[in-house]
Structure 1
Amino acid sequence: MKGPSMPGPTAPPVLLEAGAAVGGTAGQLTRLGLGDHVCLVYERPEEHVEALVPYIRQGLERGERCVYVVDEHGVGEVAAMLEAHGVEVERERARGALVFLTQRETFLRGGRFEPEAMIAYLHWVEEESLAAGFSGVCATGEMSWALGPEPTREALLRYETLLNDYLPGSRVKANCQYHRSRFPPEIVRDVLRAHPRVILGDEVHENLFYETPEMLLGEESAAKRVEWMVRQLKRVRESERELVLMGLRLSEQSVENRRLYEEARAAVRARDEFLSVASHELKTPLTPLRLRLQG
C-alpha cells in the first residue's frame, strides 16, 4: 500500500516537513543520509521492492556507490527488479556505481563470519569508493545468509552494534534486509533493538526500541539504562508536542490564508466598483457628442 502523496515544493515548510515524515516510501527515504543505519523488515515481495528500489535510486542520484550483497535473491533477479523501475543497471555497473557482491565476498570472507573483519572490509570499500570519485557508499545486504551455520546470534548482534559505532561520521549508510517470516522472533527482536531506524512495509520509522551498543551487549549499568528509558519517554512526549504544534501552525496558516483571500475579494470588488463608476462618468459627457455625430 502506497503512502499519501508528498506536498509540492511550494507548500509551506511545515507541510514539507510533515510530508517527508509520513509521505510515500521514496519521500521518507530522502531523510536517510550517509552515516545512517537502517533495517528493512519485510514480509511480502512487494514491500521488498517498494523499499529497495528508491533506496538504490536515491543513492545513484546522490553520486554514491551502491553496493548490494545478494543471497536470497540472485543478481539476475535484483537487476531485473531495478531495470523494471527505471534503473539502467548495465550502465551503472559499467561505471562502478552499482556493485553486486555475494556473502562469500563480504560477510564470509575467509570462510567464516568475523564482525570486526566485516567492518574493516566496509571501511576499505568506503575509502576505495571515495578515491574513485563517489560521494559515499550506499550499502544494503540480504541477511538471509545468517540462517545458516554462520553466524551465531551473538556474533550477528555484535556486528550490528559495531556498525552503530562505525557508521556515524562515515561516508557510508547501511540497510540490512531481514525477511521476517524466515527469521525466528528472537533474531527479529534483536534486529529491532539494534537499528536506529526501521523500514516496515512502506513506512520508515524512528525506532523507539533502539538500544545503544553497550546496552545490547549487556555492558551498560542499570543507572544508564534508566536514563535511556527516561529519554525514550521524553522523546515520545516531544513527538506528541511537535504534532500538536504542527497542527496549530497549520491552523494559523489556514486563518492567514482566509484573511488574504478576503482581502483579495475586497480588492476585486473595489476595482469593479471603480470601473463601473468610471464607465458611467465617461458615458455622461459623451452622450451629446455621440448624438451630434449621429445627426
Structure 2
Amino acid sequence: MVTDNGDDVVTFAGGILDQHRHVCAFVNWQDEDLAVLDSFVRQGIESGDRIVYLVDPADVAEPVNRLQHLGYDAADLLNRRQCEVQSWADTYLNGGRFDPDAMLTLLDRMFDDQDSPRVRLVANMGWAIGEPGLTDQLIEFEARANFVNLRRRHIAICAYDTAQFDGALIIDILRTHPMVLVGGVLQENPFFVPPAEFLRQKNLR
C-alpha cells in the first residue's frame, strides 16, 4: 500500500502517518505503551527502515533488550546500523545543556540523505524534566522541528511521560505536534497550530 506521493504507508497505534509524521506520544512506559512502540519498531525493521532511539544515558541497554524481546539479533542490527541508540548526553544535552539550534541541525543531518533508509526516531523526552528555564526553549524547538519533518519522509515519535510533566507544558507541547497518541489511540491533533503561526503567536506574547 502506498500514499499519493508513492511512499509506502506507515502505521502507528493503528493509525496512518501520511502527511504528518511528527507525533507526540503521551506514554507511561507500561506494557501497553511499550507494545505500541514495539509494533512501530517491528514494522520499521521488516520494511528496511532505520530505527534510532534517543534515551537516558542510564537506559541505553533498554532498547537493545526490547529488540531481543521482539526476537531480533540486536547486535547484528546495531552492527549494520539498522538500529542505533544515542543518549541524551550526545543529542539533546550535548555539551551539558540544551541548545535548540544544535539539536535541530543534528536532526536535519540525521534526516538529510534521501538515498538512505527512512528513519524512525523514537525520542524519550524525559531529559527535559526538571530543567530550569527550559519550557520556552523546548516548546519553540518542537514547533521548529516541524519544518525539518515537513521536508522529509522520516518519522519522529516524541514520547512524553504525562506523570512527569505539568499540565501547562503538556498543553503547549500539544500545540506543536500535528499528530498525538493519547490512551493508546493515534489521532490528528485538534490543538495543533502550524509552526509559522505558533512561532508568530509566541513572539507576540
TM-score (ref. length: structure 1): 0.59
Q: Whose strand fraction is larger, Structure 1's or Structure 2's?
A: 2
- Percent identity between the aligned chains? 29
Aligned pairs for 1:109-258 within 5 A: 109-127=94-112, 130=113, 134-149=116-131, 152-219=134-201
For residues 35 and 102 of structure 1, what CA distance do their matches in structure 2 show? Answer: 26
Conservation of the 8 A alpha-carbon contact between 1:34 and 1:170:
no
Aligned pairs for 1:253-292 within 5 A: none
For residues 58 and 22 of structure 2, what CA distance do their matches in structure 1 show? Answer: 22
**What are the superposed Cα offsets for residues 105-141 of structure 1, whole Å, 9 maximum, x if unpaired?**
10112322111111111111223xx38x632211111
Q: Secondary structure at the match of 1:104?
A: helix
Task: Answer 1 or 2: higher relative contact order, Cα 8 Å, separation at least 6.
Answer: 2
For residues 97 and 214 of structure 1, what CA distance do their matches in structure 2 show? Answer: 33
**What are the superposed Cα offsets for residues 16-40 of structure 1, whole Å, 9 maximum, x if unpaired?**
xxxx9xx993x42xx2258610011
Q: Whose helix fraction is larger, Structure 1's or Structure 2's?
A: 1
**What are the superposed Cα offsets for residues 50-101 of structure 1, whole Å, 9 maximum, x if unpaired?**
2211121222223222110012871222222232123332221110010000
Conservation of the 8 A alpha-carbon contact between 1:34 and 1:173:
no
Moved segments of 4+, more than 6 Å: none
Match of 1:94 in 2: 79
Instruction: Extract unaligned runs of 5+ from structure 1.
Output: 1-8, 10-19, 223-295
Instruction: Give the counterpart letter for 2:159 in structure 1.
Output: Q
Conservation of the 8 A alpha-carbon contact between 1:37 and 1:173:
yes
TM-score (ref. length: structure 2): 0.83
**What are the superposed Cα offsets for residues 157-208 of structure 1, whole Å, 9 maximum, x if unpaired?**
0110111111112132111010111111111111111111111232111111
Is 1:61–2:30 an aligned residue pair?
Answer: no
Q: Cα gap change, 1:41/1:209 in structure 2, threshold over 3 Å: closer, same or farther?
A: same
